[in-house]
Structure 1
Amino acid sequence: MTPRPAPAREPGLYRGRTPPLAPFASALAAYAAGASDPGLRLRSSLGEDASLPVGFFFRTPDQWMDFERYAVELCRGRVLDLGAGAGPHTLALEARGRPVVAVEGSAAVARLLRARGAASVVHADFRHWWRPGFDTVLMLMNGLGPVGTLAGLDRFLAHAPRFLSPGGQVLIDGAEAVARRPSATAGWPPAGGYPGQAWIELSHAGRVGRPFRELYVDPETLARHATRAGWRLEVAFEDGNGAWLARLTRPS
């Protein structure tokens, strides 16, 4: 994925010119090369400041969470994996014989995904790129995150029908945003409005990426926006801890 950088009016967010996802890409490359703990770090306007276990992005199906297993079982026909990352779902679906196109906004991550054996990889920002004829669009691991804001969500919901064949479905997971502190992290602007509109900053090996927007949307808010955009939404899975899987279809 390739989120837009923070606007210039937020100078306190900038620490350099490193692209937003460059630390993510370099950490994934280091792990793939054998580093057990590449040291990827995340800070956010929600108060998060933590190391991310990079091996998580390389999980095999036996290590998946329940909603991931269910999402993959729901996949049918030709699949489009948007924001495929290191490709755990793409590779598992291909192993089942599913035709999959994986889309990644980071050129370096797209190269890694090809090196891992994915058959069809596209380097593109899925908010603006499209290709028709898919029976399932898969968006896992907070797949709507790159839309950034509720306005971005509305734009994506208007854009997404272009991907689908008649009767197609979009499978999306998410988790509600939870602020770790009463106020935003020092030096970050308030998210403003809907609390799931966060700023994210990634760092790895001394490189700090430019902050980008990330959306954490609850299923009720997604349902309102989806219905307004002409979608039918079904919550297919909830784990009781804020994580969920939704299925979007177009009324016939």
Structure 2
Amino acid sequence: MKDILGTALLDYYNNNYSEDIITESTISEADEMPLPYLFRSYKEMPVIEQKALQLAKGKVLDVGCGAGSHSLYLQNVKNLDVTAIDISIGATEVTKARGIKNCFNQNLFEQKDQYDTLLLLMNGIGICGKLERINLFLQHLKSLLKPNGQILLDSSDIIYMFDQEEDGSVLVQANKYYGEVEFTMSYKGEASATFDWLYLDYNTLQNACMANNLNCELVTEGDHYDFLARITRL
């Protein structure tokens, strides 16, 4: 697969920034993902992300680290033991270059160590792909938790993106969960393969956690249907 994200991050880091990543999905038109935003400082982060970083403790796994902005704050400001992983080779190269000591080009399911905090930000639950995979996904996350560990993740309820009827009902596909989305990314004339991405409303996440013997707590909500959840063992 083409490493669209990694190529763009490397360009920005190496001062070759000339355009942004373009994303398209089954629920939205083409949209820009500004590269500077992926290199944001703590002060530039949304409140939800700031709160998650405040709550992070102990040995941390930053899943889908991107350019490493969250890991940098945890390692350099909070002095935590951080491991950053991403399936993008370019992303991990940038994260290492920015100073993260433990950074690996790795799929989440390759992880076997246990952590005090699992961090899945920027809709990190999205890598689950489809709702039918949520039990397997949560069970693997649970296996990576130390006894008093926590999972901090954010997501969005995207029901607002669908047409609403006069009676208040919403038109969604009958044969799948409305938060299942297919994405492509393109950059400088190159395009990624289509990939699955999952947005979860809080009630669905909470029910999935209960089914997997996990406690799910709503920590805070953002300004645009997004929320931060803290998940722990029962």
Q: TM-score, normalised by structure 2?
A: 0.90
Q: Who is 1:55 aligned against?
A: 36
Matched residue count: 224
Distance 1:167 1:58, change over 3 A: same
Which of 106, 109, 119 lines up with 2:91 in the alignment?
109
Which of 53, 65, 68 lines up with 2:46 in the alignment?
65
Q: Which runs of 5+ in 2 are unaligned?
A: 164-172
Query: Cα RMSD (Å) of the superposition?
Result: 1.7
Alpha-carbon deviation of 1:133?
2.7
Q: Show CA shifts across 1:170-221 (max 9, x none).
A: 0001112257576xxxxxxx79511110000000011011000000111111
Mapping for residues 175-214 of structure 1, pairs under 5 Å: 175-177=156-158, 192-214=175-197
Return the structure number with greater strand share: 2
Is the partner of 1:145 in helix, strand or coil?
A: helix
Which of 2, 7, 13 lines up with 1:32 in the alignment?
13
Is the partner of 1:144 in helix, strand or coil?
A: helix
Confirm or deny that 1:97 pairs with 2:79: yes
Distance 1:192 1:41, change over 3 A: farther
1-side partners of 2:134 and 2:30: how far apart? 26
Distance 1:37 1:221, change over 3 A: farther
Q: Show CA shifts across 1:64-107 (max 9, x none).
A: 11011111110111111111110111000001211100011112
Q: Which runs of 5+ in 1 are unaligned?
A: 1-18, 183-189
Confirm or deny that 1:167 pairs with 2:148: yes
Distance 1:26 1:192, change over 3 A: farther
2-side partners of 1:230 and 1:146: how far apart? 21
Amino acid of the structure 2 residue aligned with 1:209: S
Q: Who is 1:123 aligned against?
A: 105
Higher relative contact order (CA 8 A, sep 6+): 1
Q: Who is 1:187 aligned against?
A: none
Q: Show CA shifts across 1:7-39 (max 9, x none).
A: xxxxxxxxxxxx26x111111111112244423
Is the partner of 2:28 in helix, strand or coil?
A: coil
Aligned residues of 1:191 and 1:199 also touching (Cα < 8 A): no
